[in-house]
A and B are shown apart, each in its own frame.
Chain A
Amino acid sequence: MLGMGVGIDRRLIYNLDWVLLVTTLVLSLVGVATIYSATQAGQKPDLYLKQLLLVGIGLLGMALAAALDYRRLADRAVLLYVLSLIALVYVERFGPLIAGTRRWIVIAGVQLQPSELVKLAAAVFVAKLFSEVRQESIGLREIALPGAAVGLLALLIAREPDLGTAACLVPLVLVVAFLAGLRMRAVLGLAAALVLSAGLAWPMLKDYQRTRIYTFLDPSLDPRGAGYQKIQSQIAVGSGGFIGRGFLEGSQAQLGYLPARHTDFIFSVLAEEAGFVGVLLALSLYLLLLWRMLETARLARDRLGAFIVAGVSAAFAFQVVYNVGMVAGLVPVKGLPLPLMSYGGSSMVSSLVGIGLVLSVRMRRFAN
């Protein structure tokens, strides 16, 4: 749709990251299988077929993104940013109200969640801004502009409300700024400020105050529901044991005790039915994926490529770690899908296109 720089030659194919591609495919298929298990007892047992279709669509998007020259894409970074703003404002004004939130645009009966694609646009935009800062080291002043620009996107997304997706933009900006040479003192200062404000304040709060903070941050969240979800998820994970209860055999998942089991809590189903062994395998695949992505950033031929990959990776890593941490009861429950595994079209397509961008950078590491 952006109509430029699409072209593939033999050399590009030669540099395709097969490990990343195969890992992505395996995780997506594990996701489809887990969705199959999670939905058998419910009213939509055929949802896994739809997810399979979405994987196909996502792979097309990935191929497109990989074929695209990321430098040509970055030339349109401002346009992407403006389009993102328009989409988000449109959603806020005209998006249908679904379950108390306005997150979607409906085109010909298909629900699109712009915030998922905005993450990618933000990654390209931030990478472009920082790649043009040509200084040995940068301070807080230099990240003020990109921070404010992305902060505006995050604010719009948070107001949908979709706090989880909005939160993804924070590590995205910070990681790219860090790579762009943010002074260690500033890094440490930011990190310390974050850790201090959260780490010190949190334990001093009473339970009901924390609950109020959850509900303040995300009013759509039923606080009682959140507590229930956390408990049920931990029970599912823990009862899975070392080798799991077997495919389609998890009582928490199959009897419906686990909430949002084919979407945000898909990993609970995996943990219950495949056990610690399955968890270890799945987390290894995610680690391999992230490792290869960051490796791609290291191998990138220019700062722009490295930053795009790093931005995409940061959002991806944040989502994986937060979602799995939520399933394990380590962090508060937030509506945040697990990339590549959770059911959902926009998330799946966005994840695959993002990986497509990473592939694009790696393929062009030797090209001019």
Chain B
Amino acid sequence: MRIYEDLRLVQSRLAILQAVVVLLVAALVVQFWNLQVVRARHFRELAENNRSRLVTLAAPRGALVDRKGQLLVGNRPSFNVVLVPEHALNLDRVVARLASALGMGEAAIRERLARRQPYRPVVVKTDATLADIAVLEARRLELPEVSVEVVPLRSYPLASAAAHALGQVGEISERQLQLPEFKGLPRGALVGQAGIESRYNRELMGQDGYRRVIVNSRGLEVAESARQPPSDGPNLTLSIDASLQAAMEAAFEGRSGSAVALDPETGEILAMTSTPAYDPNRFTTGIEPHEWASLANDPETPLINRVIQGSYAPGSTFKVIAATAALEEGLITPHTSFYCPGQLSVYNTVFRCTPGGHGVVDLRRAIQVSCNVYFYQVGIRLEITRLAKWGKLMGLGGATGVDLPFEASGLMPSPEWKLRVLKTPWYAGETVSVAIGQGQVSATPIQMARVAAFIANGGRLLRPHFVKRPGTPLPAPVARPETIAAVKEGMRAVVAAGTGWRARLQSVEVCGKTGSAQVVASARLERTPRARGLLPHGWFIAFAPAEHPRIALAVLVEHGGSGGEAAAPVARRILSHFFGLERPEPPAAAAQGAATDTED
């Protein structure tokens, strides 16, 4: 081996290599500067998102209790299966595994994922069963991005009782998210969708809290970095009397219809029923589409709250309004009499009453036997303008302002209304029909309950309500005491020995008025007398006791026939429960000779 080698080329090229190494390391330093100094905040955020998960601590909604403190709507703990899609290495695989573990369709899961917000947990399944939870726990390591949250779920222990009044909760809809009243709520929030749940949603909701937890790469929680406890929604006391509510529902014995009972002095709603009803518990976890379809397409319309959304011709119950109007306008006195031959021919039309007629009737008897001819005469004298004025004064043709959403206002027709909507002038003959509650006039049961309360409390039009709004003064009476007394006398006679005798109680004096809302012309009904669906709706409005009334109510039995036959017995069951007469004797039909079923 030679001692001297020419190493100059090697050495000069080594210098080049040294320079290359310096350049390469410098390039690395630049990249680390870029990542760690220039973009550090961005990556710190990503690391934070990686390790921390926001767990919502759902605030339990306030409970709803009745006037005696009995629970009407509460909460029960339930399990939600949630997923943070951003934490999934392979979302498709996670979805497939979840679908098989929970027995759900992949499409259903994907639909929920499609509506996600970045890094917010998506609720894949609400109210998961213990079996679901067990399966997920067993596959914990396969599904680290999935977790289970305990959330309070709305529960309706009375099931379908008062369902329409209480309403139900459901996941907030896309449309609702845009509304100001739901501002700030996240997707998936449970909000009131009907009834009191909807009307008092904000009050009941409380404020959700959260836990920010640190999780490792397998999705296991290792620490909690922040916590904001939820503040529970406050409980709300309703004016409902749960026991009366149950009695009211039982009184219908499965028939379609509705009833509402008020405290005539305050307007507090003591009970409200619309049948058929539905079980709001079905809605709390997101109702199955087929179940929803069957409810929504049911011809018996179980989702409709008939008390505030059903508009019916008031029939003879309207005579209470006509009588009040005529007395107040000074067109009749309680002693004014008309002769009823069984029909009235006027304006080239024959208006019918009971075949054979009632003979000479005064106001009290006209109300008692529900004489049409008497009120035809009243209507002719009042004319439509004054009739409409009093209809409105007593609450028809406008919402009652009850604290429920989606109230219908019914219709109190007037010449102005007809010209505006139907583009035809008013005919005097129409007034004759309206005077007995037929024709264009329509009312909701809660409006008619308010009419009963109006007579009961001496002429004041109250706002029916479940929750007292502080600082609302009692409205002043709009009718004279003499007027009220005269109408009340008539209503007293209706139950004592008139069309409403089936509502009679032994120890409590009941005042009432029957009515029938015709569905088809009488002539057709005579041809097919028992065809259900063609029978008129039976009305009964009442208050009791006659002196110092404590309850006013309206009952409507759909296609029940006459109000005296169909609705008065229902009212009687409700009233007898209210007055503690649990097993009332059926009233003797022939107790008084004047007792009659005739009306309209």
- For A306, give its contact among B1, B14, B215 (CB under 8 Å): B14
Residues of B within 8 A of A91 (CB): none
Which listed segment binds B: A14-22, A54-62, A198-206, A293-301? Answer: A293-301
- For B29, give its contact among A242, A283, A298 (CB under 8 Å): A283
Given contacts A255-B217, A255-B222, contact A303 B5 (CB under 8 A): yes
Cβ-based interface call for A361 (8 A): no
Cβ-based interface call for A340 (8 A): no
A-B contact count (CB 8 A): 140
Cβ-based interface call for B345 (8 A): no
Per-position contact with B for A302-323: 1 when CB-CB < 8 Å, else 0? 1100100010010001000100
Contact B44 A279 (CB under 8 A): no
Given contacts A238-B39, A239-B46, A290-B21, contact A303 B14 (CB under 8 A): no
Contact B214 A283 (CB under 8 A): no
Contact A228 B31 (CB under 8 A): no
Per-position contact with B for A179-194: 1 when CB-CB < 8 Å, else 0? 1110000000000000
- The secondary structure that dominates the A interface is helix
Residues of B within 8 A of A71 (CB): 1
Residues of A within 8 A of B292 (CB): none
Contact A234 B216 (CB under 8 A): no
Contact A242 B217 (CB under 8 A): no
Complex formed: what's the CA distance from A200 to B505 in Å?
A: 100
Contact B89 A224 (CB under 8 A): yes
- Minimum Cβ distance to chain B for residue A71 (Å): 7
- For A291, give its contact among B7, B21, B31, B32 (CB under 8 Å): B21
Which listed segment binds B: A29-37, A116-124, A324-332? Answer: A324-332
Complex formed: what's the CA distance from A351 to B563 in Å?
A: 103
Residue of B whose beta carbon sits closest to that of A71: B1
Residue of B whose beta carbon sits closest to that of A134: B5
Contact B37 A276 (CB under 8 A): yes
Residues of A within 8 A of B17 (CB): 175, 178-179, 294, 310, 313
Complex formed: what's the CA distance from A175 to B22 in Å?
A: 16
Given contacts A237-B35, A303-B5, A328-B31, contact A256 B43 (CB under 8 A): no
B residues 16-59 in Cβ contact with A at 8 Å: 17-18, 21-22, 24-25, 28-29, 31-33, 35-37, 39-40, 42-44, 46-48, 50-51
Contact B44 A238 (CB under 8 A): yes
Complex formed: what's the CA distance from A283 to B36 in Å?
A: 15
Cβ-based interface call for A287 (8 A): yes
Q: What 6 A-B pairs come out closest when comparing CB atoms? A: A238-B43, A256-B217, A239-B47, A276-B36, A255-B216, A241-B40
Known: A271-B36, A294-B17. 7 other contacts (CB 8 A): A178-B13, A237-B36, A238-B44, A238-B47, A241-B37, A317-B21, A330-B31
Task: List A residues at the B interface (Cβ < 8 Å).
Answer: 41, 71, 136, 175, 178-181, 224, 228, 232, 234-242, 251-252, 255-257, 271, 275-276, 279-280, 283, 286-287, 290-291, 294-295, 297-298, 300, 302-303, 306, 310, 313, 317, 321, 324-325, 328-330, 368
**What would 16 A/B residue contacts be, using CB atoms closer than 8 Å?**
A136-B9, A175-B17, A179-B17, A235-B47, A237-B36, A241-B37, A255-B50, A256-B217, A257-B217, A276-B32, A276-B33, A291-B18, A297-B10, A310-B17, A321-B25, A329-B35
